[in-house]
Amino acid sequence: MGNEVVIFITSPSRGEAKRLGCHLVSEGLAACVNIVPGLISLFRWEGKLHEEREFLLIVKSRTSCFKKLEKRVRELHSYSVPEVIGLPIVEGSKAYLQWVRAMTTLPKGKTAGRRASSRKLNRKNS
């Protein structure tokens, strides 16, 4: 355990959540993104209380990727102030955390498709 993090990002639609997740994984900023539907968010914005349906992205990454990841989310997100919150992973499966590190530190020239398919192969072999 070291610099692995879970990052929460909310999105107003499934399409945007999927687009964000695909960008983050394919660009090597995230090892994995889960998209959780059915979120209800209550918040104050511009002096008014709001209730919105949203999708939650649960992103697994590293602290060293956070600033680039946050910048990329701000570039792609429809909200002017998107939620991007990183929490340290205190404990976790050693093999999984090694995989998170490997997927977020690829040498130039490697493709995201290879990373994703190798994880699927590992799942089938487990």
pTM over 0.75: yes
Query: If residue 82 lies in a helix (H) or strand (E), which one and from where to where?
Result: none
What's the distance, CA 109 to chain centroid?
22
Per-residue pLDDT of the chain (126 residues), as tens digits, is: 569 999 999 999 999 999 999 999 999 999 999 999 999 999 999 999 999 999 999 999 999 999 999 999 999 999 999 999 999 999 999 999 999 999 997 555 444 443 444 444 344 433
CATH fold of 4-125 reads Alpha-Beta Plaits (3.30.70)
Q: Two tokens at 34?
A: 């889960």
Rounded to the nearest 5 percent, the helix, strand and coil shares of the chain are 40, 35, 25
Report the first-to-last Cα separation within the chain, whole angstroms.
Answer: 22
